[in-house]
Amino acid sequence: MKADPEDQLRLLDLQAVDTVMAQRTYRRRTLPELAIIAESAARLATLSGDVVRAQTEIGDLSREQRRLELDVDQVRSRSERDQQRLESGSVGSPKELERLQHEVQSLARRQGDLEDQVLELMERREALDAALAAVNESVQRVTADRDDATARRDSAFAEIDAELSDREAERDGLTAALPADLLALYERLRAGSGGTGAAALRQRRCEGCRMELASTDLNRARNAPPDEVLRCEECGRILVRTPESGL
């Protein structure tokens, strides 16, 4: 392939722009903030499940506590009725008196049991409240971390996108000036060679693969007409001769 030496040099400018664009695109995709945001989202999903579970358990305990307190009220009023009957002197039968006294005792035991259960529930409720408060604190902390990371990501994106847009304009200017066949070869090689399609020959080395050219290849490069498009024998990339080529 033949191409004006000026166009060959322009290819190196294009390569420099493409390399920067590839670096910025890579940076955009691998910003550490993206991992923080994803981890925060996963953590918040888990925490929100924890909140729902704790709230459900607290609701169940509250209902259970109300039920027990109603039972306590019933036992207490029954016992008061029995006490009033005992103290009124209206119960004549000794058997009935004994039954009532027995019932008052057993109601007192029952009330004690129920009150113990209420106390136990209240302790569990306190522990659950504390656990829920801790989960809510974690939610706030993780949300703040996520929001910070999101702000940093957005500002990094804005900076990268502005630079990419500048470089894109620069690239358009360069490609518009290049012959189509040279550009097509460059693009094909760039796609197949890790993003580098053209490299300078500098100090007898191909800057694409860093290999020093064999003397026969150097001779060929030296003797080739300036508009001959050279390719590196090692890596196949377009090899552009420059004043620093060492030929």
Binding site for Zn ion (CB under 5 A): 206, 208-209, 232, 234-235
For residue 28, give both structure tokens.
């955009």
The distance of closest approach from Cβ of residue 206 to Zn ion in the complex, given in angstroms and rounded to an integer, is: 3
Q: What are phi and psi of 11, to 5 degrees?
A: -60, -35
The distance of closest approach from Cβ of residue 234 to Zn ion in the complex, given in angstroms and rounded to an integer, is: 4
What's the CA gap between 206 and 213, in Å, rounded?
Answer: 7
Name which of 27 and 210 has its Cβ closer to Zn ion. 210
The distance of closest approach from Cβ of residue 201 to Zn ion in the complex, given in angstroms and rounded to an integer, is: 9
Name which of 8 and 111 has its Cβ closer to Zn ion. 8
Q: Give helix 5-29 / helix 180-192 axis angle, nearest 10°.
A: 40
The distance of closest approach from Cβ of residue 194 to Zn ion in the complex, given in angstroms and rounded to an integer, is: 12
Q: Under a CB-based contact definition with an 8 Å cutoff, are residues 208 and 235 in contact?
A: yes
Name which of 90 and 216 has its Cβ closer to Zn ion. 216
Q: Is 77 exposed, middle or buried (0-12, 13-18, 19+ CB in 10 A)?
A: exposed
Q: Under a CB-based contact definition with an 8 Å cutoff, are residues 75 and 111 in contact?
A: yes
For residue 118, give both structure tokens.
């209420």
Name which of 16 and 209 has its Cβ closer to Zn ion. 209
